[in-house]
Structure 1
């Protein structure tokens, strides 16, 4: 029986992906490649949106951006996922990603986060998102599908708590709780996407939207937590 060398990081990563390659069906693997490649481009577009809003100072249009984001979501849902509509729905998706990035810029400015802190938050988000995605793919195919109702209820409780919580302790509970819930959604959505594909759903664009929202939410929580930690450190110094 072969042993895993903990010092051979690249080799272990390669073996992990080889195992995953044998575990998933070909059509599911092809679908996931399409989803994650589209997600990568959507995240880049979102980053461009944040930079554009920061440079040109479109903060006063935040309410209009929010309305447009909801409009694009409705457009994606209302437009059938057919080959003929693929380009139109991709335009909706990337426009949604761009405006989401535009709406992130005021959030980042309000936190007064330094570029290094933003970069760290983004890299940590990539690592967290990647780890939970892999955990979902390696687990039994339906292991996390029961989390949907639990996560929805937990999110509702968290929102209600946030309306009345005023102490620093409860702020920490809400932030860490929100991060945990959104990590749970990565597990749930990843397995749900795989299961939908097994049942014939090939709408990779909408599946990208689901994971994109998870990524952005995790980034928000991580950035807030890092900024709070930085503020506490400055006060102690």
Structure 2
């Protein structure tokens, strides 16, 4: 019992707790800005869930919703920051189109194993929360160096995807793109969070644009985790079927 209490009272553990509460480097203005960013992000996730539900009802997800997502992003980024209400509406519409676009994947998961959707969502939320917290408690600008490496990695993945779509690709290459893409967007959570903090310290308090950036990271992480879970579930079912036939 003494060793248990001494662990929580040790200087090393106190340092960990203090680090988790160390937001002194973030000014109150930036803290309020981050609250707005995460609240807007939550609203965008709700809109995305509505879009996925609409696809399940009316099968609206497809090329048009993908184009609507890209168009909404471009329209949002080109709208002046002082048109706040319009930009929020554009963000929610873009999130709704995005949810409808991944609706076919969610529909597939429902038919294969509905619990995979909850598992993917929980895993995405945990990954996002952990890496966002790491960026928040870290020293300012500590992870901004990741930007160049992440951009280079994303460019490599885009070229691999482009070449494999033209010349064909192997299963190993597809798995490499899937898992490395997941790692890249997890890294983007850290980088984008610190970049948002630095931009806010510099006076850029555009919470709609910042929420859009984090929303993009979240969706990409969720899609890749769900695909990985679907592939693992299909592999398990295939092994079960083989054992039954033997």
Which residue of the other structure, out of 229, 232, 235, is the alignment partner of 1:232?
A: 235
**Distance 1:144-1:17 versus aligned 2 partners, 3 A rule:** closer
Aligned to 2:69: 69
Residue pairs, 1:72-111, within 5 angstroms? 72-82=72-82, 85-110=83-108
Residue pairs, 1:117-136, within 5 angstroms? 117-136=116-135
CA distance in 1, matches of 2:7, 2:193: 27
SS at match of 2:24: helix
CA distance in 1, matches of 2:42, 2:19: 19
Deviates more, 1:73-82 or 1:182-191: 73-82
Aligned to 1:199: 202
* 1:17 CA drift (Å): 8.3
* 1:64 CA drift (Å): 1.9
Residue pairs, 1:137-216, within 5 angstroms? 137-162=136-161, 163-164=163-164, 166-216=169-219
CA distance in 1, matches of 2:132, 2:20: 16
* 1:108 CA drift (Å): 2.8
User: After TM superposition, which residue ranges in structure 1, 4 or more long, deviate above 3 angstroms?
Assistant: 2-6, 15-18, 20-23, 109-113
CA distance in 1, matches of 2:91, 2:18: 31
Q: Which runs of 5+ in 1 are unaligned?
A: 7-11
Are 1:36 and 2:38 an aligned pair?
yes
CA distance in 2, matches of 1:220, 1:32: 25
The alignment covers a number of residue pairs equal to 227
TM-score, with structure 2 as normaliser: 0.85
For residues 109-155 of structure 1, what are the alpha-carbon distances to aligned partners after superposition, in whole Å with 9 as ceiling and x for unaligned?
A: 35654321011101100000111111111111101112112111111
CA distance in 2, matches of 1:124, 1:69: 24
**Distance 1:135-1:226 versus aligned 2 partners, 3 A rule:** same
For residues 34-77 of structure 1, what are the alpha-carbon distances to aligned partners after superposition, in whole Å with 9 as ceiling and x for unaligned?
A: 00011011101100110011111224xx2222222222212211
* 1:87 CA drift (Å): 0.8
**Distance 1:17-1:94 versus aligned 2 partners, 3 A rule:** farther
Aligned Cα RMSD in Å?
2.4
Q: Which has the larger radius of gyration?
A: 2
CA distance in 2, matches of 1:223, 1:175: 11
CA distance in 1, matches of 2:18, 2:214: 22
Aligned to 2:52: 50
CA distance in 2, matches of 1:227, 1:179: 15
TM-score, with structure 1 as normaliser: 0.88
CA distance in 2, matches of 1:114, 1:100: 22
CA distance in 2, matches of 1:4, 1:98: 47
SS at match of 2:142: coil
Deviates more, 1:165-174 or 1:67-76: 165-174
**Distance 1:138-1:56 versus aligned 2 partners, 3 A rule:** same
